[in-house]
């Protein structure tokens, strides 16, 4: 991710469907060209109890979109008295993106969450394309993540195993992609809501998998 519109989209984000819900993850580095501009960048946003958004791209655009989508989802809940489905949230986000083609948002998004039909993740591009999948990754570190996920992902894996897999995939990206690094943010979304995995838990899992920091 970058704080400058002229800088490349250096980031790694992940979303994957698991047996009990969804796991979403990002690293925390923001780059400005070859400069590491920030080391604690928020790239994973809670949209609602059942929805999360992982962002890659220009920081300002990503933050604006996160606020915009959150406001619309909360308004929907206030009016309807129920949570928005993941598909509806993806359609909403797609409409926001496609409606801004003359001034596009320079982002790549992953929207993930749970509803009555289970867990879902959607990849959304900057002009509004929305594609559901079992797992997806965006950003400059995504080739390394796909290498790990293609080898290790299995349909129906548990959320706990999904957290391990997300950590392993981010670790691979952070080792080879200079624009990705400085720690991980991992969240689980289940019927109990969205929860961030504590750093000490991530460190414990990494040690168990014998992955060096």
pTM beyond cutoff 0.85? yes
Query: What local confidence, expressed as pLDDT, does residue 10 receive?
Result: 73
Residue 8 has pLDDT above 90, yes or no: no
Q: List, for residues 99-138, the tens digit of each pLDDT value.
A: 877 778 999 999 999 999 999 999 999 999 999 999 999 9
Q: For the chain, how big is the Rg over CA atoms in Å?
A: 16
Closest listed residue to residue 168, CA positions, set 184, 156, 187, 157: 184
Query: What local confidence, expressed as pLDDT, does residue 38 receive?
Result: 85
DSSP sequence for the chain: -BSSTTS-----EEEEE-SSSEEEEEE--EEETTEEEESS---EEEEETTEEEEEEEBHHHHHHHHHHHHHHHHHHHHHHSSPPPHHHHHHHHHHHHHTTTTS---EEEEEEEEETTEEEEEEE-TT--EEEESEEEESTTHHHHHHHHHHH--TT--HHHHHHHHHHHHHHHHHH-TTS-S-EEEEEEETTEEEEPPHHHHHHHHHHTT---
Residue 196 has pLDDT above 80, yes or no: yes
Superfamily (CATH) of domain 13-208: Aminohydrolase, N-terminal nucleophile (Ntn) domain (3.60.20.10)
Residue 1 has pLDDT above 70, yes or no: no
Domain extent listing, the chain: 13-208
Residue 9 has pLDDT above 70, yes or no: no
- Average pLDDT over the chain, rounded to an integer: 92
Q: Which of 2, 11, 13, 26 is catalytic?
A: 11
Is 11 catalytic? The answer is: yes
Q: List, for residues 47-81, the tens digit of each pLDDT value.
A: 999 999 999 988 889 999 999 999 999 999 999 99
């Amino acid at each position: 991710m970058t704080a400058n519109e002229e800088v490349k989209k250096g980031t790694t984000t992940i979303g994957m469907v698991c047996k009990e819900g969804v796991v979403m993850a990002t690293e925390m580095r923001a780059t400005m060209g070859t400069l590491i501009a920030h080391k604690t960048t928020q790239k994973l946003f809670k949209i609602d109890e059942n929805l999360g958004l992982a962002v890659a791209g220009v920081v300002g655009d990503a933050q604006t979109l996160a606020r915009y989508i959150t406001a619309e989802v909360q308004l929907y809940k206030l009016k309807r008295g129920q949570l928005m489905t993941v598909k509806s949230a993806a359609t909403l986000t797609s409409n926001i993106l496609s409606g801004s083609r003359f001034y596009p948002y320079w982002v790549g998004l992953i929207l993930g969450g749970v509803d009555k039909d289970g867990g879902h993740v959607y990849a959304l591009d900057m002009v509004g394309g929305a594609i559901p999948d079992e797992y997806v990754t965006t950003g400059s570190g995504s080739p390394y993540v796909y290498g790990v996920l293609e080898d290790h992902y299995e349909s129906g894996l548990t959320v706990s195993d999904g957290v391990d897999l997300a950590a392993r995939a981010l670790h691979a990206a952070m080792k080879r992609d200079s624009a990705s690094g400085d720690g991980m943010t991992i969240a689980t979304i289940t019927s109990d809501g969205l929860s961030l995995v504590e750093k000490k838990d991530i460190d414990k899992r990494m040690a168990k998998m014998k992955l060096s920091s």
